Structure formats: structure tokens, C-alpha cells
Amino acid sequence: MRKIINKPENFVDEMIEGILLAHPDQVKTPGEDPRILVRADAPVAGQVGIVTGGGSGHLPLFKGYVGQGLASGVAIGNVFSSPSSQQVFEATKAVDGGRGVLYLYGNYGGDVFNFDLAADLAELEDIETRTVLGRDDVASQPKERKHDRRGVAGIFFAYKAAGAAAERGDSLEEVAAVAEDVVEHTATMGIGLSPTILPTTGEPSFDVPAGEMEVGIGIHGEPGIHRGPLETADEITDRLVSALVADLGITAGDRVAVLVNGLGATPLEELYVMYRRVHQLLADRGVTIERRYVGEYATSLEMAGASISLLTLDDARLALLDAPAASPFFQEV
């Protein structure tokens, strides 16, 4: 195992310490537990709070999206593990500005269980909560079961839109509706070329033989829908875009935002090769790309691979994407 770490058991806490030291003007810990981060000005009085959370190993997801115009706070678990319900509850209290708190996170069993418990604890403290789950991974379930899909990189769009709605003063119901609307119009599919190596064990989380690829792989190494010989960048992109267009029902005249996301070990140059093909494919279909994002938005440690997310746009969604936002890992003014 070749990793720049100290003791494996200290990996998560030392990483969080580094984020706090590097970005003291943007994030802070509200109490004794270092696994809870909130925006530096939290709580913001009169504004809906947004709490996210999940396992470590996915930077900038989840903790990287805490900041103005994005999430208000995050509860952080061990690598690929859920935070506790108490941690979620403490984050909830720390960001509550008196107008309730939205829980916005990926659709994974452990996270759902602990966030639901935290919502019960918040109710006892008279803090109103709502929950919206990121569920954009089209490979994880067929369209008729889309509410059971995993949440992956496309949740970035939901953070951006919900955070903008909270900043402009929307109510809890309105912020939740904005997040749900964006989730419903987002689809993602990824491809894996090599596994992650877990810091605690030094072992790969899954296996992809040399010269092969796995289409539809999850960000924890969950099995995809196709494994076979590695294809060219254009062939891979064709596969992914075709699935996303079909799932969202995209046709000529539609407007979209595109996210080409690296999973941790794929060079930015390769992501731009893929984006070039995405642009060609959508232009050929008469689809207008209004906004484009290329880089690492949701990773899986050092997994080689990439994902593509599409969000279908109307004027309201586009305005929310364009609203100012700033966090340690994302800035748009």
C-alpha cells in the first residue's frame, strides 16, 4: 500500500484537521466533535439550514460543499461509513437559524437510518426537518425504481440549487422542493478502471482486471451493469451519454448542465477528452449545454474512472446554478 498517511486509524481526523487549518475563514467545528463541520458564520439567523453527511473518502463530497450558497453543515463518518445519528443531530443544532433544517445526502442505507434517527432527536428540540435524498445513479436501479437509486456526483447540482434557495430566504418547504426538483431532473453514470485501496486495511475494495472496465460502478465499488475490455474514450462516453439521455428523456431543444467528474485517479486531461465527446453528442441531438463543470466533484479515494451527470434545465434551475457560492472546494461568484 502506497499512501501518504500516518496511522490509518487517524486518517480521517487528521484530514479534517488539515481542512480546518487551511480554511478557517470558511468552516469551523461547533463543538468538541471534530467530525462535525459547519460554515464559519453558522448558524445564519432566519435562514434554512442544510445538513449533509456520509463516509469519508469522497472529497470534495460531502464535507467540501459546506459554505455560502451550499450546505450549512456536515456530519463525517469513517471511510465509506455513515456518521452517527448523534453527529447528525449535533450538526443540525449547530446550523439551525430558526427556520428549520433540510437533510440532503446520498441514498445509502446506513446514512438514511442515522439521519432519520437524528430527525427524531431534532423534533424533540422543536427543530423542524425535511429530507431529500440524492438518487442520480441510473445504473443502480431501473427507471421504475428510481427512488431506490444510489446518490453519486449529481448531488452537487442539488447542493447548489438548495443552497441558493436557502440564501435567498426560501422557507424549509420551498428549499426542500427545490432540492427534490433538481434530484428528479438529474442522472449520472460512471465507469471504473481500478479499485480504491482502503487506508485501514491496505486492501482494494474491489477488483477490475488489467485491461478491463466496469460500467455503472458505484463510488464504493458497488458492481456495475457491464464489465468488459477497456474501450476508447469516445466509446465510453457514448455509452454513458446514451444511457443518461434515455433516462431523462432528453430531446432536441432541451437545455442541460453537464458534469464530467473524475473519481480520484483520472487526469484532468482525460476528463476534457470525455467532455469534448459529450459536447459533440449533445450538439448532434440539438441539445443546448447551458453550464459545464469538469473536474473532481465526487471521488472514491484513488479509483481510476469517471462519471457523467446531466441536469435538464429550465430558467428557474439555471438561475439557482448561477447564484454565488463559496466553500473550500468550490467557488462561483
**Cross-sheet strand order for the sheet of 186-194:** 226-229, 212-215, 186-194, 304-312, 255-262, 288-295
Has 279 been annotated as catalytic? no
Residue in 185, 220, 226, 279 annotated catalytic: 220
Alpha carbon distance 183, 136 (integer Å): 7
Phi/psi of residue 225, nearest 5 degrees: -110, -5
Give every CB contact of residue 180 below 8 A, 6+ residues apart in sequence. Answer: 132
The answer to whether the Cα torsion of 212, 145, 240, 218 is positive or negative is negative
Angstrom CA distances, 58 to 20, 110, 136, 264, stand at 17, 16, 16, 8
- Do residues 102 and 176 touch, judged by C-beta distance below 8 A? yes
Residue 286: CB atoms within 10 A of its CB come to: 11
Alpha carbon distance 254, 285 (integer Å): 9
Has 147 been annotated as catalytic? no
Residue in 58, 147, 185, 279 annotated catalytic: 58
DSSP state of 184: H
Taking alpha carbons only, the member of 189, 109, 113, 186 closest to residue 155 is 186
**Pair type for strands 255-262 and 288-295:** parallel
Residue positions annotated with a catalytic role = 58, 220
